[in-house]
């Protein structure tokens, strides 16, 4: 009787040890699968990010500025956020850059001055109404951009193309 008791006492810890081993193996297996899953998932995400170009998308340089009726003859209209001004005169329209040719500051239109059309707040360059440099460190005239009327009658400025000949859009 005593022997049987000691035998059962011997087998019980052994069975319990196997159960502990099984639990440990299961835990290590789950840990391995989890680590592999996270590793592979991370690698896939990183590959996806690598394949996607890391660029900042700028707004299109071809944009509508509104219906023709928005621009009365004799008006000068600053297009907010685009760095241009649309000028309408009797003989046509043109779009002129408001970005200083010195270091790129946004210049300010000057009203009621027959000579100076624009002044740069940064270093004081001045430009004529047609964009020619009058004074200051700016090295070049303000460029004009191409513009046209689209099929809906909206005025479109193409700021990717400089209007080299400075021709006005006749409407």
Nearer to ligand FES, 92 or 137 (CB): 137
Within 8 A by CB and 6+ apart from 72, the residues are 88
Contact between 136 and ligand FES by CB under 6 A: the answer reads: yes
**Token couple for 14:** 């052994």
Alpha-carbon gap, residue 79 to 75, rounded angstroms: 12
- The residue with tokens 């270091």 is 103
In the structure encoding, which two tokens stand for residue 129, read together?
């109404």
Can residue 133 be called a binding residue for ligand FES (CB under 6 A)? Answer: no
Does 102 engage in binding with ligand FES (CB under 6 A)?
A: yes
Judged by CB under 6 A, the stretch of 16-24, 32-40, 63-71, 100-108 that binds ligand FES is 100-108
Interface with ligand FES (CB under 6 A), residue total: 11
Chain mean position to CA 162? 22
Considering only 125, 127, 147, 157, the residue that binds ligand FES (CB under 6 A) is 125
Q: How far is the CB of 156 from ligand FES (least distance, A)?
A: 28
Write out the H or E segment, with its range, that includes residue 118.
strand 116-119
Rule CB under 6 A: say whether 100 interacts with ligand FES.
Answer: yes
Would you say how long the chain is, in residues?
171
For residue 38, give every residue at least 6 positions away whose Cβ sits within 8 Å of its Cβ, in sequence order, or none. none
Judged by CB under 6 A, the residue of 84, 86, 120, 159 near ligand FES is 120
Quickly count: other Cβ atoms within 10 Å of residue 99's Cβ.
16
Among 78, 110, 122, 156, binds ligand FES (CB under 6 A): 122
Nearer to ligand FES by C-beta: 65 or 138?
138
Q: Which residues bind ligand FES (CB under 6 A)?
A: 100, 102-103, 105, 120, 122-123, 125, 136-138
């Amino acid at each position: 009787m005593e022997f049987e008791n000691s035998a059962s006492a011997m087998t019980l810890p052994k069975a319990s040890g196997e159960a502990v081993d099984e639990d440990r193996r299961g835990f290590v297996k789950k840990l391995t699968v989890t680590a592999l899953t996270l590793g592979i998932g991370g690698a896939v995400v990183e590959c996806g990010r690598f394949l996607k170009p890391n660029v900042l998308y700028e707004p299109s340089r071809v944009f509508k500025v509104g219906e023709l009726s928005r621009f009365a003859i004799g008006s000068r209209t600053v297009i907010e956020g685009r760095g241009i001004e649309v000028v309408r005169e009797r003989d046509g329209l043109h779009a002129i850059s408001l970005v200083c040719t010195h270091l790129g500051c946004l210049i300010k239109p000057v009203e009621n001055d027959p000579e100076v059309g624009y002044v740069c707040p940064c270093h004081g360059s001045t430009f004529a109404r047609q964009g020619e440099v009058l004074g200051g460190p700016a090295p070049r005239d303000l460029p004009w951009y191409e513009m046209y009327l689209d099929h809906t009658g909206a005025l479109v400025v193409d700021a990717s193309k400089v209007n080299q000949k400075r021709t006005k859009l006749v409407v």
